[in-house]
Amino acid sequence: MNLLGDRDIEWSWVASQMPSGPGEALDFGPGGNHLALIAAQRGFNVTAVDLQPVHWTYVHRHLCFIRGDILEVPLPKENFALVINCSTVEHVGLAGRYGVAANRLDGDLEAMNRLRNLMRLHGVMLLTIPVGKDSNFAPLHRVYGAKRLPRLLDGYALEREQYWVKNNRNQWVLSDKQDALAREPQPRLYGLGCFVLRRARV
């Protein structure tokens, strides 16, 4: 078994849960996906931030790109009505990938705190992450389980959650939270957690 099809699950979740604009949106770590374009098409002014350059095959007047570290790039506080955080936060602070030179043990938690401060009150975050027993497969990614997942979501109101795991035919199937978080992950095989979060009043 492997992660084949993981982006189908994650991207379809984000697209299906995305609200309509207008407003400001932040796509954190867009990589090669088209979620920022979907947000722009839905009426948002979108700022995409990534450590690596992006190579979009399109230009949209409501879509701009900033290359930089989410923990350092200057962005206005309490500005974004929507944050797209699709398979990105699990990499923050792990040296040796995406040009990251220094380890930050809690870089992922710092990033979630920074993103919360950038969101408007009651703003929405669409989050997808690896889930299973708590693990750190540096320099690849973290996996979130019963201990670290609550820390990651601290300060957010959880509106909706969905969990997926692979069956013995290497197909993604819906799972309950308990089973998904109890599974032993591997560097290239883990469950997926999909969340709709709102910035709480903290």
DSSP code per residue over 27-84: EES-TT--HHHHHHHTTEEEEEEESS----S---TTEEEEES-TTTS---TT-EEEEE
Per-residue pLDDT of the chain (202 residues), as tens digits, is: 999 999 999 999 999 999 999 999 999 999 889 999 999 999 999 999 999 999 999 999 999 999 999 999 999 999 999 999 999 999 999 987 777 777 888 999 999 999 999 999 999 999 999 999 999 999 999 999 999 999 999 999 999 999 999 999 999 999 999 999 999 999 999 999 999 999 987 5
Q: Give the pTM.
A: 0.96
Q: Among residues 38, 36, 28, 83, which one has the least CA distance to residue 199?
A: 83
According to the 3-state scheme, what is the secondary structure of 7-38?
Answer: HHHHHHHHHHHCCCCCEEEEEECCCCCCHHHH
Q: Domains of the chain by range and CATH?
A: 6-27+77-199 (3.40.50)
**Spatial distance between the Cα atoms of 61 and 50, rounded to a whole number of angstroms:** 19
Task: Report the 10 Å Cβ neighbour count for 198.
Answer: 15
Tokens 């290359």 correspond to: 67
pLDDT in tens, 140-183: 999 999 999 999 999 999 999 999 999 999 999 999 999 999 99
Tokens 């820390």 correspond to: 151
